[in-house]
Chain A
């Protein structure tokens, strides 16, 4: 039994939350929402516990795929159910299963309408996202990647704000468009290699033109998801309209799907194109870092501000990827995980206020620190982390990427470091307007400080943000070997290995 489990940890990690979600749906009873909540919490905790062996049993010296398992799935097209993880996937899987627990707790009394469907959506989504991080077969990956859109689409549409229908349909169509182009790239690779195994694609040589087209097809899918400027416009809409849980999952995990996929697909499959287009990618990243930060500065809506801040921070991630050095890549990984904690916490903070006052506008608040001192302390901590204060996790990733960038080009680093100024500006200015000053109105005056449940989730996130900020070693140890291997793969050109075969290109 134990042996069976250790051989199929990834399958358990994927299907246990999905199963929990289905059970929650089937046993739902609208008159007893508490039973549903406890069941969902139990499901999410067990699902999280199942993923912990991925860390404890991880072989840190190994850069390749571990915990591999699989069987032949669709014989006609040589599609396999093939799972496996390496050092860049495991941290994100742990982040996913952990965030799901947080989301379930955060929704406790807040969601009153159709509790079972809400909880089940997040549990199922969690399983599907872990599937994305652990699939080693292109079609299996694609199925998880698309399937996770369905629950997120419903979450934003059912429990979202005023303009939710527009936001959720925009989100779905944007993502679908990019994904379908990626599917065309997969089919093309399949006809060339006769396989949907990602590892086979890594070895397959292609001419530069083909690589560029493949890279652009992947770019369409991943740039939308991360999101990169200028295809980011769906994110602020989706974030603003989504319920708190939806925003948390979007920011903490869904965006990472895009970042992860660049490392898993676009860059190693088309390394020459990645080098060839690196200037383009770095330019887009720097625009995101500087320009989007300025956009964030003028936002009046707190969620929108955090959404733009996310785009700006994800610009750091793509910058870290495309400078092709160890520090940059590892920094990008730290940044992804750290942003998962910080953005989740920031959205939870907005959720705390929204649940009480039902407004996301900055001007609806003022002097909250007077009525909610404990909450204000947490909010300020997360705001500091978001602006990259040393000692918090936000600093580590950004600093590593800037150090990496300076090895490549001084000006990249120069422009990127603007974020430390702008990030502090927009975050702290928001904190100042919301939390400090005179008590603005009677709504604020009537605020009650956070309850135990809210204290608990914010405290856990605060601990994680500080721990990762002071001691990021466990995370970097994990990614180290994989990043080294990835960089050595990226350094090898795929051109001129054999005469490339072009098909219709």
Chain B
């Protein structure tokens, strides 16, 4: 009895989010169109309450629940708080966008909350089954969200593509997990680790299983050579959904990798290190070079994401606490940058007009110097130019990789970063050096303007004082890995 109570208490935030998602669906039925704003408030309150519970029950220790299938440690708490914050920003940025496109409905908020619950379960999963369940909850919600604008053929196509490839990836992941289960006799991460630590010879089926697991994870992360879906889905989805797909789920994917590869399969580190290394190098090459050829802003950011994923893998492949903390720092920085970047795109879109071509940014400095400046920070941050946050992100992963002895790979990554800088500079060129094509005044609600300013400004402020975020990442990783 005591156990059940402890189990339930540990998973209170997840239950809140799931329960509220259903409540949002129900309440939505009884609301008139003019009162719909209530579900927005409800969704924000959900995140706030969940954040409060997660924060107030936080301890530096590790607690297991549901017979070890669910864990509450520093990593899970820190990541959950980041996910709440990110999602809350997404709600602010997308409200006007979905309102003018008739997508402002209970389903949107319920599905986003379901995906948040999925991410939370991924973050806390300590058994392959829990992890997989969380992943599927997230993925299925995202597939549906992409197709939410059901009369839009581009979005439907993107949803189809996302679903088919995503299902394939899930299949591979599950197949790999089944092999690991077959060889170790357990689904539980800790038991898998113990079974492998025994010193018995590693059977080649384990390696095969590992290959499938890494391939599945790479699909979800969007690392080369499993990146095909990324540009199409980014471009095809309504921007309000793209901002979700491209940002917070990466935090959950990071936790997934830490749980499965680091906590579960650390004995095979030498093997997955090599796989991550190949994917990191390919992602950085393909992401940076292909992005140059794009004219669609969302597609360009998709390739930019691929190259950022490559840098994250650089941190992970270092296979040290330093490396994992750096990778987490990189992902957190990436999420802040991406949210701000898509926030600007959402800001420039209006009824009947999607700001998604690079040319839509032309002359932004003359239309609005402030937002041009914010986008400038975002772009320099993505390019890794100090004093923005993006510089410290690149700095931390590169120093981790260098510490692990990958000197020449680091030099290579740095050369690729210069190529990458080109297309970020092109965006700045359009905003600052060209004349505007579009003279519509920028309309956005006050809360969105304020939050967006804080979000993009944070890139500069954290860039000047990065210690806090760095300590947080080290704290999160140390607490659950040592």
Contact A76–B470 (Cβ < 8 Å): yes
Closest residue of B by beta carbon distance from A156: B433
> Does chain A have a CB within 8 A of B97?
no
Partner of A158, one of B386, B421, B433, B466: B433
Q: Do the beta carbons of A146 and B429 come within 8 Å of each other?
A: no
With A150-B380, A164-B433, A165-B429 already in contact, the answer to whether A143 and B466 are too (CB < 8 A) is no
Does B385 touch A at the CB level, under 8 Å?
A: yes
A172 touches B425 (CB 8 A): yes
Cβ of B267 to closest chain A Cβ, rounded Å: 25
Partner of A180, one of B365, B380, B407, B418: B418
Return B342 CB to nearest CB of chain A, in Å. 22
A147 touches B386 (CB 8 A): yes
Residues A165-192 near B (CB distance < 8 A): 165, 168-169, 172-173, 176-177, 180-181, 183-184, 187-188, 190-191
Query: Which residues 384-438 of A sit at the B interface, judged by CB distance below 8 A?
Result: none
Query: Which residues of chain A are within 8 angstroms of B417 by Cβ–Cβ distance?
Result: 180
- Chain A min CB distance to B455 (Å): 20
The verdict on A265 contacting chain B, using a C-beta distance below 8 Å, is: no
Asked if B405 and A504 make an inter-chain contact with CB atoms under 8 angstroms apart, the answer reads: yes
Residues of B near A146 (CB, < 8 A) are 385-386, 391
Tell me if B102 counts as interface (CB < 8 A to partner A).
Answer: no
| B399 / chain A contacts, CB cutoff of 8 Å | 77, 187, 190-191
- Chain B stretch 398-440: residues in CB contact (< 8 A) with chain A: 398-399, 402-403, 405-408, 410-411, 414-415, 417-418, 421-422, 425-426, 428-429, 432-433
Q: Which of B402, B466, B470, B474 contacts A184 (CB 8 A)?
A: B402
Bound CA span A270–B262, Å: 39
Q: Check if A505 is an interface residue, CB within 8 A of chain B.
A: yes
Check A503 against B407 for contact (C-beta < 8 Å): yes
Whether B386 pairs with A142 at a CB distance below 8 angstroms is yes
* Separation of A181 and B407 alpha carbons in the complex (Å): 11
Task: Tell me the dominant secondary structure on chain B's binding face.
Answer: helix
CB of A328, distance to nearest CB on chain B (Å) = 33
Distance, CA A74 to CA B399, complexed state (A): 14
- Interface 1/0 per residue, B371-403 and A, CB below 8 Å: 000001000100001110001000110110011
Overall SS of chain A's interface: helix
Q: By the criterion CB–CB under 8 Å, are A191 and B403 in contact?
A: yes
Asked if B421 contacts A172 (CB within 8 A), the reply is yes
Report Cα–Cα, A147/B406, bound state, in Å.
27
* CB of A149 closer than 8 Å to a CB of B: yes
Q: How far is the CA of A143 from the CA of B465 in the complex (A)?
A: 12
Whether A183 and B467, one on each chain, are in contact in the complex, defined by CB atoms closer than 8 angstroms, is no
Distance between Cα atoms of A224 and B131 in the complex (Å): 50
Give chain B nearest CB distance to A385 CB in angstroms: 35
Contact with B along A8-49 (1 / 0, CB 8 A): 000000000000000000000000000000000000000000
Determine whether the beta carbon of A187 is less than 8 Å from that of B429. no
The smallest C-beta distance from B400 to any residue of chain A, in angstroms, reads 10
CA distance A184 to B422 in the complex (A): 20
Beta-carbon contact of B385 and A149 below 8 Å: yes
In the docked arrangement, what's the CA distance between A180 and B385, Å?
A: 10
* A184 and B385 within 8 A (CB): no
Residues of A within 8 A of B414 (CB): 180-181, 183-184
The one of A164, A176, A190, A191 in contact with B385, judged by C-beta atoms closer than 8 angstroms, is A176
Residues of B within 8 A of A366 (CB): none
Distance, CA A157 to CA B365, complexed state (A): 13
What is the bound-complex CA distance between A505 and B365, given in angstroms? 47
Tell me if B402 and A187 are in contact (CB < 8 A): yes
Give A74 to B387 CA distance when docked, in angstroms.
13
Residues of B within 8 A of A74 (CB): 466-467, 470
Question: Given A76-B470, A76-B471, A173-B422 in contact, is the A143-B391 Cβ separation under 8 Å?
Answer: yes
Does A117 sit within 8 A of B, measured CB to CB? yes
**A471 within 8 Å of B by Cβ?**
no
Answer yes or no: B225 CB below 8 A from chain A CBs. no
Contact status B418-A154, CB under 8 Å: no
Q: Report the bound CA distance from A97 to B433 in whole Å.
A: 27
In the complex, which of the residues A172, A177, A184 contacts B410, with contact meaning CB atoms closer than 8 Å? A184
CB <8 Å contact, A184 and B433: no
A503 to chain B, nearest CB (A): 7
**B362: min CB distance to chain A, Å:** 13
**Nearest Cβ in chain A — how far from B320, in angstroms?**
12
Q: Is A354 an interface residue (CB 8 A)?
A: no
Taking a contact as CB atoms under 8 Å apart, the answer to whether A147 and B385 are in contact is yes
> Is B369 engaged at the interface, CB distance under 8 Å to the other chain?
yes
Asked if residues A117 and B369 are in contact (CB atoms below 8 Å), the reply is yes
CB distance from A100 to the nearest CB of B (A): 20
CA A180 – CA B376 in complex, angstroms? 20
List, in ascending order, chain B residues with CB within 8 A of A191's CB: 399, 402-403
Say yes or no: A150-B385 contact (C-beta < 8 A), given A177-B418, A181-B414.
yes
- State whether A73 and B369 are in contact (beta carbons under 8 Å apart), knowing that A173-B422, A504-B407 are contacts in the complex: no
Q: Verify if A321 is at the interface (C-beta below 8 Å from B).
A: no
Inter-chain CA distance A146–B418, complex, in Å, is 13
A153 at the interface (CB under 8 A from B): yes
Question: B403: nearest residue on chain A (CB-CB)?
Answer: A191
Task: Given A74-B467, A191-B402, answer yes or no on A176-B418 (Cβ-Cβ < 8 Å).
Answer: yes
CB neighbours of A2 from chain B (8 A): none
Please, which residues of chain A bring their CB within 8 A of the CB of B470? Answer: 74, 76-77
Chain B residues lying within 8 Å of A172, measured Cβ to Cβ, are 421, 425
A298 CB within 8 Å of chain B: no
From known contacts A158-B433, A183-B414, infer whether A169 and B425 are also in contact, taking CB-CB under 8 Å: yes
Q: Among A117, A143, A173, which residue has its beta carbon within 8 angstroms of that of B386?
A: A143
Mask for B169-203, Cβ within 8 A of A = 1, else 0? 00000000000000000000000000000000000
Complex formed: what's the CA distance from A149 to B384 in Å? Answer: 13
- A15 to chain B minimum Cβ distance, whole angstroms, is 11
- Give min CB distance, A159 to chain B, whole Å: 10
Q: A1 an interface residue at 8 Å Cβ cutoff?
A: no
Contact A505 to B407, CB < 8 A, known contacts A158-B433, A183-B395, A188-B402: yes
Give A67-94 interface residues, CB cut-off 8 Å to B: 73-77
Partner of B407, one of A154, A183, A188: A188
Instruction: For the complex formed, measure the closest distance between the CB of B377 and the CB atoms of chain A, giving whole angstroms.
Output: 10
In whole angstroms, what is the CA distance A201 to B433 when docked? 41
- Encoded as 1 (CB less than 8 Å from any B CB) or 0, chain A from 483 to 505 comes to 00000000000000000000111
Which among A142, A153, A173, A504 is the interface contact of B418 at CB below 8 angstroms?
A173
Q: State the Cβ distance, B299 to closest chain A Cβ, in Å.
A: 21
B433 touches which one: A117, A165, A180 (CB < 8 A)?
Answer: A165
Q: Kindly state the separation between the CA atoms of A217 and B145 in the bound complex, as whole angstroms.
A: 48
Chain B proximity mask over A122-165: 1 for CB below 8 Å, otherwise 0: 00000000000000000100110011011001100110000011
Bound CA–CA A165/B428 (angstroms): 11
Task: List the A side residues contacting B387 at CB < 8 Å.
Answer: 143, 147
Q: Is B385 touching A177 in the complex (CB atoms < 8 A)?
A: no
Sorted from nearest, which 8 A-B pairs have the closest CB atoms?
A143-B386, A180-B414, A504-B407, A76-B470, A157-B433, A504-B405, A177-B418, A187-B399
Q: List 23 A-B contacts (CB under 8 A).
A: A75-B471, A76-B470, A76-B471, A76-B474, A143-B391, A150-B380, A154-B432, A157-B429, A157-B432, A168-B429, A172-B425, A173-B418, A177-B415, A180-B414, A180-B417, A181-B414, A184-B407, A184-B410, A187-B402, A187-B410, A188-B407, A191-B403, A504-B406
10 further contact pairs, Cβ within 8 A, besides A176-B421, A191-B399 = A75-B467, A76-B471, A76-B474, A143-B387, A146-B386, A157-B432, A168-B429, A173-B421, A184-B402, A504-B405
Q: Show the binding face of A for B, using Cβ within 8 Å.
A: 73-77, 114, 117, 139, 142-143, 146-147, 149-150, 153-154, 157-158, 164-165, 168-169, 172-173, 176-177, 180-181, 183-184, 187-188, 190-191, 503-505
